[in-house]
A and B are shown apart, each in its own frame.
Chain A
Amino acid sequence: MQAKWLNAVAASASIETLEQVRVDALGKKGEISGLMKTLGAMDPDARKEFGAKINVVKDEVTAAIEAKKTNLADAALNAKLARETLDLTLPARPEYEGRIHPISQTIDEIIAIFGEMGFSVAEGPDIEDDFHNFTALNIPADHPARQMQDTFYLPQKADGSQMVLRTHTSPVQIRTMLKGDLPIRVICPGRTYRVDSDMTHSPMFHQVEGLVIDTHTNMGHLKGCLQDFVRAFFGIDNLPVRFRPSYFPFTEPSAEVDIGCDRSGGELKLGGDKDGNAKHWLEILGSGMVHPNVLKNCGIDPAKYQGFAFGMGIERIAMLKYGIPDLRTFYETDLRWLRHYGFVPLDIPTAVGGLTR
């Protein structure tokens, strides 16, 4: 009988058949259950012997049914899963990620580096008056920079004065100094404007300037600060840096800063040789010790305070770092350009996490 029922279990092809087998064997009116019922009429010895046998049969069949049930359920699930197969090569629901413009990315890098050196960011208006953009900076009234061919002017006002579009972010330095909160250690990134438009000039571009004022900062600090900056920014530890005497009305002494490069073969490559010697030089920024007249104009005593200032073009250093060939493309909003030269939004430059991915 055991063999009969085990065969019946094995032969069941569905949960339903299996259930019928269970009812027929172990149900109230089932064959095995029926035999169990006969036990009561037996004498104790026979009951014991037959009971043990019949229990074995019952357990075996019960176990077989359970096992078969799991088996059948698995098979049913597998069949269902097989029917549910998806073509996962189909595209997922569309999601898009935009890009960060190289100017923003570069400004964030600049802030990360100078922030590490203790600078904070200062800002000011784009439309400036004559005093903040020129006069306070020791730029005399007849200086060529003030001419219409260099500076954007707004219409003359009733009192004869004219506002200008700032030609540099230096007016932010002036505003910072006029606040009189010494010592000062700021950088001033922002939009600047000059009446110039050709292959290498844009009527609007971005500058970052720096200003340090205290009682002791000297030109050695200026050199150290800028050397540290360009090496960190371009990621070249031994990038050669050269200071060259120059002239700006607002600094004295003044220096142009060059970085080492190699122009052999018509291609520009930043850096020097392995000993840090430059083959060629590339002018990259202007700097100097703040002119005593500028300090005076801002109500700071030049006998007590001194410091440095510098300025550079943001697009220019971005072009050098990221190999962007044409200045004018920065403002053209060509989607292909934005996606090619732009940065993924999670690529956030920090000093400890790295400036560049």
Chain B
Amino acid sequence: MKFTLSWLKTHLETDADLATITKKLTDLGLEVEGVEDKAESLKPFVVGYVVEAKQHPNADRLRVCQVDTGKGVLQVVCGAPNARAGLKGVFAPVGTHVPGTGLDLKAGNIRGEASNGMLCSARELGLGQDHDGIIELPDDAPVGASFVEYRKLNDPVIEIKITPDRADCLGVFGVARDLASAGLGKLKPIAEKQVKGTFQSPIQWKIDESAKALVPYTAGRYFKGVKNGPSPQWLQDRLTAIGLRPISALVDITNFVTFDLCRPLHVFDADKVKGDVVMRSAKEGETILALDGKTYDLEPGMVVIADDQGPEAIGGIMGGEVSGCSETTTNVFVEAALFDTTVTAKTGRKLGILSDARYRNERGLDPQSELWGMDVATRLILEICGGEPSEITSAGALPSGTRELTFRPARVLALGGVEVAPAKQKQILVDLGFKVIETSAESWSVTTPSFRADVEGEADLVEEVMRVHGFDHIPATSMPRAGAMPPVAVTLGQKRVQQTKRLLAVRGLNETVTFSFMPSGVAAMFTGNNALVPLANPISADLDVMRPSILGNLLMAAERNAARGFSDIALFEVGPTYLGETAKDQILSATGLRVGNTPRHWQVKQRPLDAYDAKADAFALLSAFGVPVENLQLEAAAPAHYHPGQSAVLRLGPTILGQFGTIHPKVAQALGVKGAAVGFEVFLERLPAPRSKGTARPMLNASALQPLERDFAFIVDASVAAEKLVKAAKGADKALITEVKLFDLFQGGSLPDGKKSLALSVTLQPRDKTLTDAEIEALSAKVVAAVNKATGGELRK
């Protein structure tokens, strides 16, 4: 909301300077968003007199003017159609910053004629939109005088942000009241004289049954014999200062009362109203041509002000063009009504109308303004437009708008943490318009004023006291500790998320954060058997469903990076995926993607990445959290976004902990990813918790005897999984065999088709005595037998 300092001072007697006032406004919760001081921005502009204006020799539309600036005569080339000798205008000397254009004036030469300054239009001064010609000042304007002082623009404009609860401060008067309560001066109360009507209004108010719940009360007054025309300069200045366009006296009066007192009014040209006016719900199919020149489709539930012809105004939002006032209006009907805040907001939103009336009506007006608001309007109309007022007509019952609350002054300390003397608390509340009865020392009865519908309970009263007293006075108290040491802040799951990120980064993957939504076309490649989870109102068509997997986002990111020249890339994200709308459908996934080749190196041969790279990432992650990776079952059952022959799910008992593999070439291709692409997804919440009992580890059982290694190579069918051999060899003697490593795979050569050779290194750990050759021989035979039994593999000779 905008107002000027002098406007504020019409309601507040104060000696405080601008800086003090703006600081206090912010301290009160009326945050100052800006202060525009034209005395500063328009300082260099002076009243200039065009002594002579001649046609520019080389340009039809330009004139060469000799301008008396008060300090001498300068030549200025001017393109305005109204530039002529004898005109008094606004002159800007060279070096001036012109607010309307944002440029600094330089001395120039325009088509061969020197130009030393500028004669300005209203737009160039930032004083409106008028750019048809230069400003014309009255003949008595003193040449060389400061334009700001001459036009009394040296009145700073203050803009404040009003939080949605403070409807009372949407008028300058309410702002003044807050400042006065904070000790910044004395509030001048509204003391309107009531003017008696001399006749009964020919237009009467009715509230139809359909609007009973939406319009509690409405008042009106008929003025006959008014003269509408331009409003007086003081009123025009008030409105232009805050960016409003003066229209006509009657309209300007309604705007002024809206901004000055937060009492929106509407004026109907009474001669254009047919019959009485009624507040009613709009009917299906009704339309209205509103004052903004647009036609709106109305629907039931919206409040309209209608006469015999139909809707004449959208209640609380905007008047209609047909019954609007014009220069020729001689009889006027003034409306001041109370509307339900919710229906006003809904209607305004639906119709897409942002008006000053809607802004106030949807936040809630002071019901009492129905009474004094009409008095103010009466005074201004009679003063400016003359005429004769009717008696006031009304319909409905005026609500009190007040409530009685219990308030314990001790709550200011208990809740607010700041000590404010009870007497001071009372003073603050009274100054803000509350009625306080000290029922007892501990508990008061406080009646809210009609303009403070936002104050609903004791906590609100605490806030009122505290904000006027000043939040600066709240002492900062560090949080007391519950114990000597703070409790552990993160759960096991949260800690694992933190550790996962650091582990994957150490492994060379870069962490990224991508949106939780993705294009449905991409999501469809990753949903498996689950349905897509769409948004009803996506931000854009390509972010229309919740992501079922992070891989899609990572693949798209890889493609974008490749386009920037980074085709070998390793990315991961730890975040949610969504298989449905419920909390349990939100799956936390540590997802990684590697694309391209291993780095080129003079010593290590470059190769395309493959599924084993993804396996290494997944296994590193799982083993870091104590998952017994040797017990994991790899099943060729990964979802369809993986290569069917180069992927696996990782199953531990009945639980799938994750999946990895080569990205399905069709998926990679669809997302524009070139080169090898491998990925993994680990579902962190499914990882088993450590089976910890206390902190002590079991005793280390390190043998004094040296372990020995024996190598075996087996020829098996090419389809036999290597893991089968390893498990069989391990199982050959669970006591002595401590480790089995697969170290070679060979196919082709002398081997028959469909066969492969796998070489195992078996570690034997003697327990209480060295093994004899015979014992080692026997163990080897057991290994060979076990492998043969499990896989049909024969020892390679």
Binding site for B on A (CB under 8 A): 90-91, 93-101, 103-104, 108, 111, 114-121, 123-127, 142, 144, 147-148, 152-156, 162-163, 165, 185, 191, 193, 195-197, 203-204, 212, 216, 218-225, 227-228, 241-247, 252-256, 289, 291-292, 306, 330-336, 338-339, 342, 344-346, 348
Contact = CB atoms under 8 A, between A and B. Distances in A.
A111 B418 CA distance: 29
A148 B537 contact: yes
5 contacts: A93-B604, A144-B345, A246-B163, A252-B460, A336-B566
B165 interface: yes
B456 to A, nearest CB: 9
B106 to A, nearest CB: 23
Contacts of A108: 498
Given A116-B486, A118-B479, A243 B576 contact: no
A156 to B, nearest CB: 7
B479 A224 contact: yes
B701 interface: no
Nearest to A94: B599
A252 B459 contact: yes
Contact of B537 (A195, A221, A252): A195
Contact of A95 (B164, B508, B517, B575): B508
Contacts of B603: 90, 93
Contact of A345 (B502, B538, B553, B604): B502
A153 B540 CA distance: 13
A287 B505 CA distance: 35
Contact of A93 (B475, B494, B516, B601): B601
B190 interface: no
A292 B458 CA distance: 9
Given A225-B478, A252-B463, A121 B498 contact: no
Contacts of B504: 98
Top 9 nearest A-B pairs (CB, nearest first) are: A220-B417, A245-B29, A115-B489, A253-B463, A218-B417, A247-B163, A333-B557, A96-B508, A345-B505
B26 to A, nearest CB: 6
A203 B29 contact: no
B570 A98 contact: yes
A100 B478 contact: no
A243 B476 CA distance: 10
A154 B481 contact: no
Given A97-B505, A118-B481, A221-B479, 12 more contacts: A96-B599, A101-B511, A101-B513, A148-B537, A191-B575, A203-B515, A223-B477, A252-B463, A289-B415, A334-B560, A338-B511, A345-B503
A22 B613 CA distance: 61
A60 to B, nearest CB: 46
A228 B479 contact: yes
Contacts of B533: 127, 154
Interface stretch (B365-373, B466-474, B702-710, B784-792): B466-474
A127 B546 contact: yes
Contact of A306 (B345, B415, B463, B490): B415
Given A98-B570, A144-B345, A245-B463, A220 B166 contact: no
A333 B514 contact: yes
Contacts, number: 267
Interface in B317-362: 342, 345-346, 349
Nearest to A220: B417
A116 to B, nearest CB: 6
A348 B502 contact: yes
A124 to B, nearest CB: 8
B602 A91 contact: yes
B415 A126 contact: no
Given A221-B479, A223-B417, A98 B509 contact: yes
Nearest to B468: A245
B534 A155 contact: yes
Interface in B197-224: none
A342 B510 contact: yes
Given A153-B536, A220-B475, A121 B494 contact: yes
B510 A99 contact: yes
Contact of B490 (A97, A103, A121, A346): A121
B546 A117 contact: no
Contacts of B534: 154-155
Contacts of A256: 31
B543 interface: yes
B488 interface: yes
Contact of B512 (A101, A127, A153, A193): A101
A160 B684 CA distance: 34
Contacts of B516: 126, 165, 191, 193, 204
Contact of A333 (B415, B561, B581): B561
Contacts of B31: 244, 246, 256
Nearest to B488: A120
A289 to B, nearest CB: 6
B263 interface: no
A256 B349 CA distance: 27
